[in-house]
Amino acid sequence: MVTVGRALVLGTMALADIGLIVMSMLAGLFTTIGMIFCFPPTMRAIRWRTAMARKLTGRWLGAEVLPPYLPPPPPVRPQPDGWYRYQRQLYKTPWWPEWNNRTKWLFTDPATWRDTAWLVLNPLAGGSLVLFPLLMAWYGLTLPWRWTPQAAPLGLVIAAAGVAATPWLMRFYGWWNRLLLAPTARSVLAGKIRRINQVRLDTADSQAAELRRIERDLHDGAQARLVAIGMTLGAAEELIDKDPHAARALLAKSREASSTALTELRDLVRGIHPPVLAERGLGDAIRALALDSPLKVTVTVDLKTRPEAPVESAVYFSISELLTNAARHGGAEQVWIDISGQGRKLRVTVTDDGSGGADPARGSGLRGIERRLAAFDGVLALNSPPGGPTTATIDMPYALVTAQGDTPSMPRWKYAAVAIGWCVGWLPMFPQGLVPAIIKIQGTDERAWFLALYLPEPLQWPMIVLNILLGLALYGMAIGIPAAHSHKHELQNGPI
């Protein structure tokens, strides 16, 4: 009954879209004659309606649909003279340039026109796929009162068929919504390219800052000590004949200074890329990091394949920063680190028993972790309520290496659905749908084995249309399931 209620709501909303279609047609007419102010509010209304459809499709139909829109234009910035420019026009206030940018953004986004196409076709698709089975059920239940009491068994059969067909047609309606409302492969790739460009800029800034830090550490640390060692050796060279005892003391100081410089250089190299990480991998490098930490750290590693070196480095330094935050700011005593992999996905969970209250907006350390992970499509999820505990989860969906061309096969139920679609789709569409329709149009009395022609006259055309739609649905299922499976694998296979 829940499915029937949802179908009734979706079908009613689909029929109510006729009003929005009329408003959109009027807005399009007014826009063509120069009243362009009608375009943005109409598009916002259509996007509001499609956003509701995406939400209900994901919640009720089990087919999650993400927004496919291009990112909105950035805010307009004034020129050095205080004026705002849009193309060759100058304005005193940013209102007109921002309005022009947003209108151009709405008009040039391909998703805008796909939303409009969905809105125009939705009353037909929603009405036929969702409401028609319910109308069949209603007609079957009322058939004894409309025809004769002896028709009650037939009415119950028709009502049961309508109710039984509702879940299947709801799934097909969800597939229809995803077809027009979900992001296309082109829009997904365009979004990845924009994100890669932004990540590239952030990575370049981070690398420049890292180089400046290394230069500063070398200049203030090892370089200064090496200069001091050279001066000490020069003084010892002058005193070696006059005062061998003092020269010997200066040489001892030089040896101590060289040892200190060597330690600083090793720490600097370890800060760039730890040797244990390159030689032993991520798991042993984190265990070594745990041994050097003042906290009691428990490390659990479950990795079947080793990530690439840049990914290992990003994860290693992210965990190092989280351990430092737990000891320095959280006041933690124990930390639990869990590293696991599934397919190409790498997940790291760092939990401490500190005081909590960590917030990326209040510190540069967590922001640096986010920028470091973003270069590999990784994200940092932080849960740190006041009083603790703090749990940081690192998800990197494409971190682990898998065999090339390893495409997962479809589940067995999908193969069965495809086989049913190809083997059975012809039956309701042609001999029980199109052929009876031609006979009805010609007005002949031939019935043969066309089941729809044996029904009462008011029910014949609805049954013919239902058979045609059922055949189309079966063929669409047979074509759409493999295509959707392949498309999903391509989108999840990793960034370009």
The tens digit of pLDDT for each residue in 67-88 reads 888 888 888 888 888 888 888 8
Say whether 339 sits in a helix, a strand or coil: strand
For the domain covering 199-272, report its CATH number: 1.20.5
> Which residue has better confidence, 197 or 467?
467
> Interior CA angle at 38 toward 37 and 44, to 5°?
105
What pLDDT shows up at residue 404? 44
What pLDDT shows up at residue 405? 45
Q: Which residue has the tokens 């940081």?
A: 392
What pLDDT shows up at residue 496? 41
Average pLDDT over residues 29-53: 87
What angle, 0 to 180 degrees and rounded to 10, lies between the N-to-C axes of helices 185-217 and 364-374? 130
User: Please, where are the H alpha helices in 182-243?
Assistant: 185-217, 223-242
Assessment of whether the complete model's pTM goes beyond 0.75: no
> Which residue has better confidence, 230 or 62?
230
pLDDT at 161 over 80: no
CA–CA separation, 440 vs 446, rounded Å?
Answer: 9
Average pLDDT over residues 34-57: 87
pLDDT at 230 over 80: yes
Instruction: Name the residue type at position 414.
Output: K
> Which residue has better confidence, 124 or 270?
124
CA–CA separation, 15 vs 6, rounded Å?
Answer: 14
Mean pLDDT score across all residues of the chain: 80
First CA to last CA distance, the chain: 45
pLDDT at 336 over 90: yes
Say whether 71 sits in a helix, a strand or coil: coil
pLDDT at 260 over 70: yes
Give the pLDDT band (50/70/90) at residue 300.
Answer: very high
Give the pLDDT band (50/70/90) at residue 245.
Answer: confident
380-430 pLDDT, tens digit each:
888 888 887 889 999 988 888 754 444 567 788 788 888 888 888 888 888
> Which residue has better confidence, 302 or 140?
302
- Could you tell me which of 424, 448, 426 has the C-alpha nearest to residue 436? 448
Cβ neighbours for 217, distance < 8 A, ≥ 6 positions apart: 264, 268
Average pLDDT over residues 276-301: 87
Alpha carbons within 13 A on the beta-carbon side of 241: 1
> Interior CA angle at 185 toward 181 and 187, to 5°?
70
How many C-beta atoms lie closer than 10 Å to residue 126's C-beta? 24
Average pLDDT over residues 220-244: 80
What pLDDT shows up at residue 349? 92
162-177 pLDDT, tens digit each:
677 777 777 778 888 8
Q: Which residue has the tokens 């087919």?
A: 63
pLDDT at 91 over 80: yes
pLDDT at 350 over 50: yes
Beta-strand ranges (E) seen in 68-187 are: 84-86, 89-91
Q: Which residue has the tokens 């061998």?
A: 244
What pLDDT shows up at residue 303? 87
CA–CA separation, 272 vs 443, rounded Å?
Answer: 85
CA–CA separation, 45 vs 139, rounded Å?
Answer: 35
Whether the CB-CB separation of 453 and 439 falls below 8 Å is answered with yes
What pLDDT shows up at residue 488? 64
Domain 281-396 in CATH 3.40.50.9100: no
Highest mean pLDDT among 92-101, 136-145, 152-161: 92-101
pLDDT at 220 over 90: no
DSSP H/E element including 262: helix 244-272
